[in-house]
Amino acid sequence: MKHLFLFFFLITISLTLSAQTNAGQSKGVTKSPGAETNKNTSYTYTIIPSVNKTWGYDIYLEKRLVIHQPSVPGLPGNEGFKTKSDAGKVARLVIEKINKGEMPPTVTIEELKKIKVL
């Protein structure tokens, strides 16, 4: 009987802790494991050519390619940004999101409008 009580007690504690942990996370956004260490890592980006004389970006963690984005995120089609400057604005936004621990670093249409890319 004591073992059964102990078993249910441990299950209850485990479920409670799990629920508290999940309550702190935003829907659709996952914190990267070790997000605190991302602040000390070196993310860089390069502007890359895309279709129809448009532009995209690549993001690197030190020298390793982690994101290849030749098109405007969230829009249909495969065309990139109209200017190199616009591609750079979005690449910097994505790096900022990564440094905050957001994985994947999703970019919304509203964010693109806010930084005047759309």
Per-residue pLDDT tens digits for 24-48: 333 344 344 444 444 557 999 999 9
Position 3 in a domain:
no
Q: Residue 77 region, left (φ>0) first, then alpha (ψ -120 to 50), else beta?
A: left
Number of domains in the chain: 1
Report pLDDT for 78.
Answer: 95
Q: Compute the distance between CA of residue 27 and CA of residue 3 in angstroms, rounded to an integer.
A: 37
Of 62, 55, 40, 58, residue with least CA distance to 87: 55
pTM greater than the 0.85 cutoff: no
Does residue 52 surpass a pLDDT of 80? yes
Residue 95 lies in a domain: yes
pLDDT at 3 over 90: no
- Residue 9 falls inside a structural domain: no
Please provide the average confidence, as pLDDT, over all residues in the chain. 77
Q: Can you give the residue range of the structural domain that contains 40?
A: 32-114
With respect to residue 24, please indicate whether it lies within any of the assigned structural domains. Answer: no
Closest CA to 45 of 31, 61, 29, 21: 61
Q: What is the mean pLDDT of residues 60-85?
A: 96
Residue 43 lies in a domain: yes
Residues with Cβ < 8 Å from 95, sequence gap 6 or more?
A: 43, 45, 59
Quickly state the pLDDT bin for 4 (edges 50, 70, 90): very low
